[in-house]
Chain A
Amino acid sequence: EVQLVESGGGLVQPGGSLRLSCAASGFTFSSYSMNWVRQAPGKGLEWLSYISSSSSTIYYADSVKGRITISRDNAKNSLYLQMNSLRADDTAVYYCARDPYDSTGYRYFQYWGQGTLVTVSS
Chain B
Amino acid sequence: DIVMTQSPDSLTVSLGERATINCKSSQSILYTSNNKNYLGWYQQKPGQPPKLLIYWASTRESGVPDRFSGSGSGTDFTLTISSLQAEDVAVYYCQQYYSTPYTFGQGTNLEIK
Q: Interface size class for chain A?
A: 20 to 34
Q: Is the CB of A108 within 8 A of B95?
A: yes
The answer to the question of A44 belonging to the interface, with a C-beta cut-off of 8 Å to chain B, is: yes
A46 touches B (CB below 8 Å): yes
Nearest residue, chain B, Cβ from A48: B101
Establish whether residues B31 and A113, one from each chain, have CB atoms under 8 Å apart when the complex forms: no
Q: Given that A108-B95, A109-B52 are known contacts, is A47 also in contact with B40, CB under 8 Å in the complex?
A: no
> Taking chain A's interface residues, is the majority helix, strand, or loop, or is none over half, making it mixed?
loop
Contact with A45, one of B31, B34, B50, B51 (Cβ below 8 angstroms): B50
Docked complex Cα distance between A100 and B52 (Å): 11
| Number of chain B residues close to chain A: CB under 8 A | 26
Say yes or no: B102 contacts A107, CB within 8 Å.
yes
Judge whether B97 and A95 touch: CB under 8 Å. Answer: no
Give A residues with C-beta under 8 Å from B: 35, 44-47, 50, 59, 61-62, 95, 100, 105-115
Q: Is the CB of A105 within 8 A of B31?
A: yes
Q: Determine how close the nearest CB of chain B comes to the CB of A106; give it in whole angstroms.
A: 8
**Complex: A6 Cα to B88 Cα, angstroms:** 26
